[in-house]
Amino acid sequence: MKKFLTAGAIVALLLVLPLISKRTDVLDLVLLFFLFSTLAQSWNILGGYTGQVSLGHAAFFGMGALVTRLLWEAGIPFALAFIPGGIAALILSAIIGLPALRLKGIYFAIGTLGLAMISRIMVGNILPTVSFMPAKQLATYSLVPRYYVGLLLAVIINLVVFFLMNSKKGLGMLTVREDEEAAAAVGIDVFRHKVLALALSSFFAGLAGSMYAYYYASYYYYVPFELGWCFDPLLIAFIGGVGTLTGPIIGTIIFVVLREVFTLTLGEAHIIIFGVIFILIVFILPGGLIEAAGRGRRFLSVLLSKRMDSSSRKTID
C-alpha cells in the first residue's frame, strides 16, 4: 500500500509541476526523463523480464518516429498520428523480429543489432533531409502539451509492466528468462511468451519514437535510428536494475542528469564515460542499483541483529 501511495504522490506532483514551475529547462529535463524511461522500460520487457537481450531497439524507436512524423507532416493531427507509430514498430517486429526470436543468446543480440544498422542505412539513404515540424505547430510550440503526453506514456507503460508481471503471462516470461528448457518442460509455450514480450516491447518503443517526433522541432529523419538508441535503454536498465519495475526509473534519473552534465562539460566524450560506467556496472553490480540497495539492507540488518545479540548477552551477564 505504501508503494502505491508513494507512486500516486509522485504522479500527482508531476501533474502539477507545469503549474508550479514555468522554467522550460526544468520541464525539458523531466520530459527527457519520460522519454528515456519509456524506452528503457520497453526494452526491459524483452531483455529484462524475458531474457532476450535486444540490440536493435533503435529500429522500433525510429520507425515510430518516422511514421508519426510523416503522417503529421502530411496534415494528419498528431493525436491521430501518435498510435500508428507504435503500430508501425509492431509490424516491423512481426516481419523481422519474429524470425530473430528463433535465435538464442548472442545470436539474437547480433541479429537485432543488424536490424538496427540496416534500418539506419536505409532511412539515411532514402530520406537524407531534415524533418521540420509543421509550420502551424512550430508557431505555437509549447513544452506543456508534450510534457503531459510524455507523462501519460510513462505512466501507462509502467502500469502495463506492473500488471503484466503480476499475471500468469508475466510469470511465464520470467520462467523463460531463467531457463527456456525447464519452462518448456513444465508446459510453457516459450516462443509465444517471447512473441508477447517482443510485441509489447516494440509497440511501446514505437510510441516513444512518436513522442520523439512530437518533441523535437527539427531533426534528420535518420537520427532516431542511430545506434545510440539501441544502447541507451540497455544502459539505463542495467544502471537501475534489469528485470525490475523501478530499475529503469532509477536508472533514467541518473542517466538523464549525468547526460546533461556530461554533454555540457565533456561534449562527445560523454559517450566514452557512459561506456566505462556500463562496463563497471556489469562487472561490479550486474543487478544494478536495486541489487546494491538490497545488499545494503541485508548488510545493515545483519549488523543490527549482531549488535542486538551482543547487547542482550551483556544484559544477561
In the structure grid, which three cell numbers stand for residue 157, read together? 507503460
What span, in angstroms and rounded, lies between the C-alpha atoms of 150 and 148?
Answer: 5
CA separation, residue 209 to residues 99, 214, 222 (Å):
23, 9, 12
| 109 neighbors 53 (Cβ within 8 angstroms) | yes
pTM for the whole structure: 0.89
| 217 neighbors 132 (Cβ within 8 angstroms) | yes
Q: Say which residues have a Cβ less than 8 Å from residue 238's Cβ, sequence separation at least 6.
A: 251, 278, 281, 282, 286, 288
Length of the chain: 317
Question: Which residue type, as a one-letter code, is found at position 244?
Answer: T
Question: Which residue type, as a one-letter code, is found at position 10?
Answer: I
pLDDT of residue 295: 67
Q: Mean pLDDT per 10-residue run, the chain (317 residues)?
A: 84 92 89 96 95 92 96 92 96 86 85 91 94 85 94 96 93 92 90 94 97 95 94 90 91 88 70 73 73 68 65 58
In the structure grid, which three cell numbers stand for residue 44, read together? 526491459
Cα 67 off chain centre by = 20
Q: Say which residues have a Cβ less than 8 Å from residue 57's Cβ, sequence separation at least 6.
A: 39, 42, 43, 112, 116, 201, 205, 229, 230, 233, 234
What span, in angstroms and rounded, lies between the C-alpha atoms of 239 and 255?
Answer: 8
Cα 188 off chain centre by = 26
Query: What DSSP line would sit under 134-158, residue for residue?
Result: -HHHHHT--HHHHHHHHHHHHHHHH
What span, in angstroms and rounded, lies between the C-alpha atoms of 66 and 64?
Answer: 6
pLDDT of residue 206: 97
Query: Residue 43: how many CA atoms within 13 Å on its side-chain side?
Result: 32
pLDDT of residue 312: 58
Run of H or E residues at 73 = helix 57-73
| 146 neighbors 215 (Cβ within 8 angstroms) | yes
What span, in angstroms and rounded, lies between the C-alpha atoms of 181 and 192?
Answer: 14
> What are the start-end ranges of the E strands in the chain?
130-132, 218-220
What span, in angstroms and rounded, lies between the C-alpha atoms of 111 and 103?
Answer: 8
What φ, ψ does residue 285 adopt, rounded to 5°? -130, 75
In the structure grid, which three cell numbers stand for residue 82, read together? 501518435
What span, in angstroms and rounded, lies between the C-alpha atoms of 64 and 226?
Answer: 13
Three-class DSSP category at 16: helix
